[in-house]
Structure 1
Amino acid sequence: MKPHYLTPLFAPKAVAVVGASDTAGSIGQAIFSNILVSGYKGKLYPVNLNRKLVAGIAAVSSVRMIEGPVDLAVFATPVRTWPAVVKDCGKKGVKAVVLVKEFGDFEPLEAEVIEETVASARKYGIRVLGPNTLGLMRPIIGMNASNYAGRVKSGNLALVAQSSALCTAMLDWADAKGMGFSSVVSMGEGSDIDFGEILDYLVADHNTQGILIHTHHIHDARRFMSALRAAARSKPVVVIKSGRSDAHLNGITESSHLIDDADVFDMALARAGVLRVNTIAQLFTAARVLAANYRTQGGRIAIVTNGIGPGILAADSAISNGVPLAQLSPETLAQLDHEMPRDWSRGNPIDIIGDASPARFRTAVKVAAQDPNVDGILVIFTPQAGTDHLATAELMASLQKEIQKPLFMSWLGDARVAASREVFSREKIAHFRTPEFAIEVFRALAAFHHNQQLVLQTPGPLKEEATPPNIHAAREIIETAMNQGREVLSEIESKMVLEAFHIPTNPARLARTADEAVELAQTFGYPVVLKIDSPDILYKSDVGGVELNIRTEIALRAMFSAIIERAREKMPNANINGIMVQPMVKRPYGRELMLGCTHDNTFGPVLTFGAGGIAAEALDDRKLSLPPLNDYLANSMIDGTRVNRILGSFKNMPAIDREALKATLLRVSEMVCELPAIYEMEINPLIADEQGVLALDARIIVRAPQGNRRRYGHMAIMPYPTDLVEYMTLRDGTEVMIRPMRPEDADMQQEFVRSLSEESRFNRYMSSIKELSRPVLVRFTQLDYDREMALSMVATIDGKTQQLAASRYFMNPDNESCEFALVVGDNWQGRGIGVIMMERLFDAARQQGLKIMYGEVLANNKGMLKLMGKLGFKVDPHPEDRALTWVTKVLIED
């Protein structure tokens, strides 16, 4: 486990401040002074063209004149000087630079100069933070390389902010609340180092227990989501976004018009497993509670109080905030009846009467905590005659250590209960001056729990079906339309695409004349439906282009002419192909739903589900999700809508076939994964009843995908790479499967590591570990397949699935190279498995466009070095460690 490549930025052993100065009010003076007084223990060098001393320290005129290595250089000079300074840094071997700029320092050619600076830095392998950044602070090592004038305490939270102004506001707020940081990173414009790389470092940083993020806009959704998901699996992440917009997506379908970009951003953060908040106060409070390891398994709250008035107000706040009050079980009510005074409230809120002793509080809270219907408890204490606030607080603090469910304390009053608040602060117990604020934090905790379930979802392939989707046929339909210059598929074409993915549709046929319509109606059988067919008319009802329940030939002929006349009157320039004829569907218990996909400029395809028909717009009922979906995510989409309330047995209607509905969501998800040209899609109405589902109307908008051309490059979350699953038989006859690793493999992976010999573990991990730590195990099994891959060879032995070997690569920030690792179980070595696993890893890396694979191998690991030679790796001495060798293989020739 070698140091992260951003270690020179976050933990430099030597820092140079270019432009360090004694001039009062200058940025160079502020930065150099901050580093001096912050207690930085490394070497500090002032660089100044005109001064020999800065703050009493000998200065040099160029970075190249510094004796000894320099890890980090902070630029505090005018922008025009940066290209020359970064070249000096490159020749000196500096690994990272921070570009700090005066906000009023604007020059006409500034953008070009910054671009030249970053390009030069990349040439020398220098990583760049900024420009337009406040700087970088690492209080845990006493380094304040910024121009922030306030105090920053050391702590276990990391703050990463795009806006320098908002960063200073956050730091000022935190200082007033006594909160500290492990790192404070002002991102600025992020011309080189981005959110993803910083988050990767902070995940590996043992000094960081929680991560706070401010963002305004996202440059690369795939990398942003990838980094967030990786971070949120290990540490709590809380996000605040500025620039919230209610602007609707700029799409064509009705689905797009009902969705705004704020909805999409919220949904994306939820899928990443992080918590979004709206204020700075909420940001730090949520982070403090999460970092203190407060967790809940659900959203139902119980309220225990010795004052019914505050209890009812808290209950009202819970209801208005969408926090359900827990329904106490009969067993809990019976036990409380036995333990509490006769006139207790006999419900939730649990009013234990004004004279409640500390012991009565403890009993009530413990009994409530044992109720399976309770996920968290709000304890409200009101100082009354005969009560003891301090003893009660101490009992609550000790009780929290006994139970797993979170307790939230609200001791009403001020000076009189101050000692109790000191107890809660000392014991790190969540406490609030008002019950309403406690309710808000509990709601956030419940949302975080829900989001954590979402981030654990790694959708795999759909269950094997007798007939897989005909992806080739669907692509042909789309390509034909695009070659003809059309973006809107006809309803018939749209339904053909749905049918290719086994989504049931109401058949439709095109009639160009009334006679053809009559012939089709006779084939289908009356009654039938007539619909206008025109590439220029997206919503047929808007032009009177739909007639239902036509029962006779006479009516059909009359309606055929009437539809065309109405359409020409409303849209005289529309190109009309003819009239579609469909059988009239009779589904007396059908519920009208809407299922579709829209396009967000940042996050790509977004799936939508909700009420359909005319209710779609009137009820504003929808649930969003980023593809890909699995069973859990599909069920979450259905459960999150209001229309879900009538999908079960409702009055005289039987429950719908929920499995059929869920399968349709999964197939639509698969469709937008495999067909990147689908820009928007809408099935409305989708009829669902006890017989299944049926798409009555569908429209698909197609456009050539932009940007990342790699497979699934159009998506913010890469699907499970099903194409890498392979079954094979080893030379000794053992039947095995090679597949990408999944989160549920964690126990199997840990058992595999434990079963390795001490020598094999040392060769793989270069340490004497006996098993993987929890964070490493999560890191190894909960993958983002876009930037890393882990292949596992498994076999069923004695009725149990076992891991035989694993190979993996980690993509480097250049997106062109990767580092690999390989381990084969001791009992399975010598059977050609190493070659198989590496060749499959080569294929996976090439699919991602990676050109070079490299690794570090112990010099005395003769078996691995022999395998490397056999696989075509170039073997060289390691440039920094004689105990290692450096192996490199070119995967794709330039």
Structure 2
Amino acid sequence: MSLKYIFYPKSVAVIGASKIEGKVGYAIMKNLKDFNGKVYPINPKYDEIFGMKCYKSVLDIDDEIDLAVIVVPNIVVPKVLEECGKKGVKGAVIITAGFSEVGNYELEKKIKEIAKRYNIRVIGPNCLGIMNTHINLNATFAKIFPPKGHISIISQSGAVLNAILDIAPLLNIGFSKVVSIGNKVDIQESDLLEYFKDDEDTKLVVLYIEGLKDKRFLKVAKELSKKKPIIALKSGRTEMGKKAAKSHTGSLAGEDVVYESAFKEAGIIRAYTFEELVDLIHLFSTQPVIDSNDIGIITNAGGFGVLAADSCVDYNMKLPNFEDTTVDKLKDILPSSATISNPLDIIGDATPERYKKVIEVLSEDKNIKGLLVILTPQEMTKPLEVAKSIVEVRNTHRSLKNKPLITSFVGGVSVKGAKSYLRKNGIPAYITPENGVKALYKLYKYSLIKVKEDYDEYVEKVKEEFLKITKNNKEIINQLLQNPNEYNAKKLLSIYGFPVPKGYLAKNEDEALEYCKKLGKCVMKIVSPQILHKTEAGGVIINPDNPKEAFKKLINNAKEYAKKNNIDNLIIEGVLVEEFIDRDKIEIIIGGKRDDIFGSVIMVGLGGVFVEVLKDVSFGISPITRDFAIQMLKELKSYKVLEGVRGRAKKDINFIIDTLIKIGVFMDIHKNIKEIDLNPVFVFNENEGGCIGDVRIIK
């Protein structure tokens, strides 16, 4: 059933309405007094509330009810929801708390079953309620009803919602739909995002998330972000989330990095602090998006212009030359001592009129797609008057309609009023030039999200090929996955065309000698399901002089390790004898982890100290397209190592990209695999490919 009955009801029943000030039922009735539709209070204790007839039950009303707002004690909720079902109520907002959030899972399950049986769409329980400013619907117990606007917000916290609504008047921003989502017994974030996609009154969507249980979220968010910006604040960034398995991928893929990857994949603009969330709401609700990173900077202090230029390098923003006509006009406006370049220093004695004229000229320059105006207080500066001139030129100059205008008023006491004036008039004002550049970067970055191509022909081709391989080799694949030790895991990957070293599993000393002779320079590794990190157990010997003695040593080391680590019933399946990869290479790690909500999470990082100590890794949600794989690699601080530094050869980056794509597809096909680690993956020089040195699969 459509959510329109929740957001655009013609009639609302308040079940648990009250006459007593301080009660939630009283606050909701009071907040609904200006609602454009009909309101029906329900409470067997009263005959009337606020001059309206009060009913004993929703069943007593001689009218259709679109929305029920339920504020009765938790044990009564199933009874009144059942009555709503019999009445044919289409939507319900359950404000009442005391369900799964306090461990009362059975009661929550009961209301879920009732809602499903009667096809009632439910928000909550344990929520603040909902608002739709466009029809004066305030079905909440919040103190503030915001002005009408085009921002829709979904929050798992009523307190965060209240704080944003309280700040909104200072920024002069309005809202469309406000939803406190509560325990999400029925309606999930994806349902709301899907609705907002085609809601004409919603231009910007804001999310406050504590955790998701919504498997459709990624798909729906991706669709919405192509049409409208989504800003999200996710709490709990520092928690590791669920206890990971013992692989590198599992230990590094904490809850937050998975969400980070999901937001990246979905095109969601992430805020990392509440302050940043508020800044982003103001920015995206007042400024147009730009499809170019060419910006212009105006400043009355050269030093801050330089800091802004440095920040442009950090955020990959460009400072193009002005058009010739712009230069000519600026010569007539600026003192002869002024140097006309970008950033443009309009000198410390800049008047409000000079600011205004310079902004007008640069707004018409076709090379400039966005403007940052910096002011620092000096003896002759009038910050508030400058702010007023900026607002005036923004409101009167048509060429600024499609160009963002951002300000950085650097200072404290003397610029406080000016910044407040700018914000109230729809112009973001920051305390630093760096934040001003960052704001323009965010507007540009969103334009890239809108044009990002999700379909990747090569990914689809790999998927088709891997599905065919799976079907044709079903028996052997199932057999190998029953015991995915390193030897079997490599055999499995080789079926799908992943490059692995030539190797044999030696069961005794004689076989170890035979295989070493066959391979020449080789490496010997213990194979045991209880020993995941072989080097810690002394389970690796490179190029042994005496393979028989090496075999014995590996077995003894494994037994000693098991004894030291209290591993009972040690299983040793043999010793893997493999060719030694003796060529110019670099080691990286590639991994995959199964997430309950988002599916396959893929990781990449440089090996050795980079992953063990620096944790220099990047994550993405499958499917990994070529563009996304490149983005993942470029996020690594150590990426330049792959490109070749200090005379070292460039490595085969295309091989890494290809492996990331294929591991994503492999994980999507084999849903019984919880984690996979390819560590190390040897990457050879450019155009020479690579080879998977070790594999660990956890089912």
Same fold (TM over 0.5): yes
Is contact 2:534–2:540 with CA below 8 Å preserved after alignment?
yes
* Equivalent residue, structure 2, for 1:591: 586
Q: TM (normalized to structure 1)?
A: 0.69
User: Of residues 417, 429, 432 in structure 2, which corresponds to 1:431?
Assistant: 429
Distance in 1, Cα, partners of 2:414 & 2:613: 52
The reply on whether 1:275 has 2:269 as its aligned counterpart is: yes
How is 1:549-588 mapped onto 2 (pairs within 5 angstroms)?
549-550=543-544, 554-572=545-563, 574-588=570-584
Report the 3-state secondary structure (helix = DSSP H, G, I; strand = E; otherwise coil) of the residue aligned with 1:692: coil
The reply on whether 1:407 has 2:405 as its aligned counterpart is: yes
Is contact 1:397–1:424 with CA below 8 Å preserved after alignment?
no
Is contact 2:602–2:620 with CA below 8 Å preserved after alignment?
yes
1:561 Cα deviation from its structure 2 partner: 2.8
Bigger shift: 348-357 or 66-75? 348-357
Is contact 2:319–2:343 with CA below 8 Å preserved after alignment?
no
1:691 Cα deviation from its structure 2 partner: 4.3
Is contact 2:90–2:119 with CA below 8 Å preserved after alignment?
yes
Bigger shift: 686-695 or 68-77? 686-695
Distance in 1, Cα, partners of 2:101 & 2:627: 53
User: Of residues 201, 216, 219 in structure 1, which corresponds to 2:195?
Assistant: 201
Is contact 1:510–1:579 with CA below 8 Å preserved after alignment?
yes
* Equivalent residue, structure 2, for 1:807: none
Taking a change above 3 Å as real, the CA distance of residues 174 and 292 of structure 1, as seen in their structure-2 partners, is closer
Taking a change above 3 Å as real, the CA distance of residues 518 and 275 of structure 1, as seen in their structure-2 partners, is same
1:271 Cα deviation from its structure 2 partner: 0.9
Is contact 1:546–1:563 with CA below 8 Å preserved after alignment?
yes
Report the 3-state secondary structure (helix = DSSP H, G, I; strand = E; otherwise coil) of the residue aligned with 1:542: helix
Question: What is the CA deviation profile of residues 790-848 of structure 1, one whole-angstrom value per residue up to 9, with x for unaligned ones?
Answer: xxxxxxxxxxxxxxxxxxxxxxxxxxxxxxxxxxxxxxxxxxxxxxxxxxxxxxxxxxx
User: Of residues 42, 46, 49 in structure 2, which corresponds to 1:51?
Assistant: 46
Whichever residue aligns with residue 578 of structure 1, its letter is G
> Which of 1 and 2 has higher RCO (CA within 8 Å, sep 6+)?
2
Whichever residue aligns with residue 133 of structure 1, its letter is C
Distance in 1, Cα, partners of 2:64 & 2:126: 27
User: Of residues 6, 9, 22 in structure 2, which corresponds to 1:9?
Assistant: 6
* Equivalent residue, structure 2, for 1:863: none
* Equivalent residue, structure 2, for 1:27: 24
Is contact 2:100–2:183 with CA below 8 Å preserved after alignment?
no
Taking a change above 3 Å as real, the CA distance of residues 367 and 12 of structure 1, as seen in their structure-2 partners, is closer
* Equivalent residue, structure 1, for 2:373: 379
Whichever residue aligns with residue 182 of structure 1, its letter is S
* Equivalent residue, structure 2, for 1:632: 627
Question: What is the CA deviation profile of residues 75-119 of structure 1, one whole-angstrom value per residue up to 9, with x for unaligned ones?
Answer: 22222222322232222221111112267x999996434433332
User: Of residues 309, 315, 319 in structure 2, which corresponds to 1:323?
Assistant: 315
Taking a change above 3 Å as real, the CA distance of residues 420 and 191 of structure 1, as seen in their structure-2 partners, is closer
How is 1:843-882 mapped onto 2 (pairs within 5 angstroms)?
none
1:648 Cα deviation from its structure 2 partner: 2.8
1:397 Cα deviation from its structure 2 partner: 6.0
Report the 3-state secondary structure (helix = DSSP H, G, I; strand = E; otherwise coil) of the residue aligned with 1:131: coil
Is contact 2:236–2:256 with CA below 8 Å preserved after alignment?
no
Question: What is the CA deviation profile of residues 680-722 of structure 1, one whole-angstrom value per residue up to 9, with x for unaligned ones?
Answer: 111122122234333342323242xxxxxxxxxxxxxxxxxxx
How is 1:415-564 mapped onto 2 (pairs within 5 angstroms)?
426=425, 428-449=426-447, 451-452=449-450, 456-460=453-457, 462=459, 464=461, 468-469=465-466, 470-472=469-471, 476-477=475-476, 479-480=478-479, 483=482, 486=483, 489-524=484-519, 526-550=520-544, 554-564=545-555
Taking a change above 3 Å as real, the CA distance of residues 158 and 516 of structure 1, as seen in their structure-2 partners, is same
Identity of aligned residues (%): 28
The reply on whether 1:623 has 2:618 as its aligned counterpart is: yes
* Equivalent residue, structure 2, for 1:237: 230
Whichever residue aligns with residue 561 of structure 2, its letter is K
Is contact 1:304–1:365 with CA below 8 Å preserved after alignment?
no
Taking a change above 3 Å as real, the CA distance of residues 400 and 601 of structure 1, as seen in their structure-2 partners, is farther
* Equivalent residue, structure 1, for 2:668: 673
Question: What is the CA deviation profile of residues 347-394 of structure 1, one whole-angstrom value per residue up to 9, with x for unaligned ones?
Answer: 7644343345347734884698616xxx75422134664998355664
The reply on whether 1:295 has 2:289 as its aligned counterpart is: yes
The reply on whether 1:74 has 2:65 as its aligned counterpart is: no
Whichever residue aligns with residue 265 of structure 1, its letter is Y
User: Of residues 88, 92, 115 in structure 2, which corresponds to 1:93?
Assistant: 88
Distance in 2, Cα, partners of 1:535 & 1:72: 57
How is 1:284-363 mapped onto 2 (pairs within 5 angstroms)?
284-297=278-291, 303-314=297-308, 322-324=314-316, 326=318, 328=320, 349-356=343-350, 357-358=354-355, 361-362=358-359
Is contact 1:236–1:287 with CA below 8 Å preserved after alignment?
no
Whichever residue aligns with residue 326 of structure 1, its letter is K
Report the 3-state secondary structure (helix = DSSP H, G, I; strand = E; otherwise coil) of the residue aligned with 2:589: strand
Taking a change above 3 Å as real, the CA distance of residues 264 and 580 of structure 1, as seen in their structure-2 partners, is same
How is 1:110-259 mapped onto 2 (pairs within 5 angstroms)?
111-220=105-214, 222-247=215-240, 250-259=244-253
Q: State the Cα RMSD in Å.
A: 3.6
How is 1:474-873 mapped onto 2 (pairs within 5 angstroms)?
476-477=475-476, 479-480=478-479, 483=482, 486=483, 489-524=484-519, 526-550=520-544, 554-572=545-563, 574-588=570-584, 590-688=585-683, 689-703=685-699
Distance in 1, Cα, partners of 2:680 & 2:661: 18
* Equivalent residue, structure 1, for 2:566: none
1:13 Cα deviation from its structure 2 partner: 0.6
The reply on whether 1:65 has 2:56 as its aligned counterpart is: no
Question: What is the CA deviation profile of residues 706-749 of structure 1, one whole-angstrom value per residue up to 9, with x for unaligned ones?
Answer: xxxxxxxxxxxxxxxxxxxxxxxxxxxxxxxxxxxxxxxxxxxx
Report the 3-state secondary structure (helix = DSSP H, G, I; strand = E; otherwise coil) of the residue aligned with 2:32: helix
Report the 3-state secondary structure (helix = DSSP H, G, I; strand = E; otherwise coil) of the residue aligned with 2:689: strand
Distance in 2, Cα, partners of 1:257 & 1:200: 34
Distance in 2, Cα, partners of 1:146 & 1:466: 48
Bigger shift: 277-286 or 675-684? 277-286
* Equivalent residue, structure 2, for 1:826: none
Distance in 2, Cα, partners of 1:325 & 1:513: 62
Distance in 1, Cα, partners of 2:289 & 2:542: 54
Taking a change above 3 Å as real, the CA distance of residues 367 and 98 of structure 1, as seen in their structure-2 partners, is closer
Which is helix-richer, 1 or 2? 2
1:131 Cα deviation from its structure 2 partner: 0.9
Is contact 1:133–1:186 with CA below 8 Å preserved after alignment?
yes
1:609 Cα deviation from its structure 2 partner: 0.8
Is contact 2:226–2:451 with CA below 8 Å preserved after alignment?
no
Taking a change above 3 Å as real, the CA distance of residues 548 and 598 of structure 1, as seen in their structure-2 partners, is same
Report the 3-state secondary structure (helix = DSSP H, G, I; strand = E; otherwise coil) of the residue aligned with 1:635: helix
Whichever residue aligns with residue 120 of structure 1, its letter is I
Taking a change above 3 Å as real, the CA distance of residues 680 and 87 of structure 1, as seen in their structure-2 partners, is closer
Is contact 1:79–1:114 with CA below 8 Å preserved after alignment?
no
Structure 1 unpaired stretches of 5+:
704-894
Report the 3-state secondary structure (helix = DSSP H, G, I; strand = E; otherwise coil) of the residue aligned with 1:641: coil
Distance in 2, Cα, partners of 1:33 & 1:503: 66
Distance in 1, Cα, partners of 2:344 & 2:510: 74
Question: What is the CA deviation profile of residues 307-326 of structure 1, one whole-angstrom value per residue up to 9, with x for unaligned ones?
Answer: 1233345456667xx43463
Distance in 2, Cα, partners of 1:561 & 1:416: 77
1:514 Cα deviation from its structure 2 partner: 2.8
Whichever residue aligns with residue 225 of structure 1, its letter is L
Taking a change above 3 Å as real, the CA distance of residues 618 and 80 of structure 1, as seen in their structure-2 partners, is closer
Report the 3-state secondary structure (helix = DSSP H, G, I; strand = E; otherwise coil) of the residue aligned with 2:613: helix
Taking a change above 3 Å as real, the CA distance of residues 700 and 142 of structure 1, as seen in their structure-2 partners, is same
Structure 2 unpaired stretches of 5+:
564-568
1:341 Cα deviation from its structure 2 partner: 6.8
Whichever residue aligns with residue 260 of structure 2, its letter is D
Distance in 1, Cα, partners of 2:506 & 2:122: 63
Q: TM (normalized to structure 2)?
A: 0.87
Number of aligned residue pairs: 680
Is contact 1:532–1:546 with CA below 8 Å preserved after alignment?
yes
1:472 Cα deviation from its structure 2 partner: 3.7
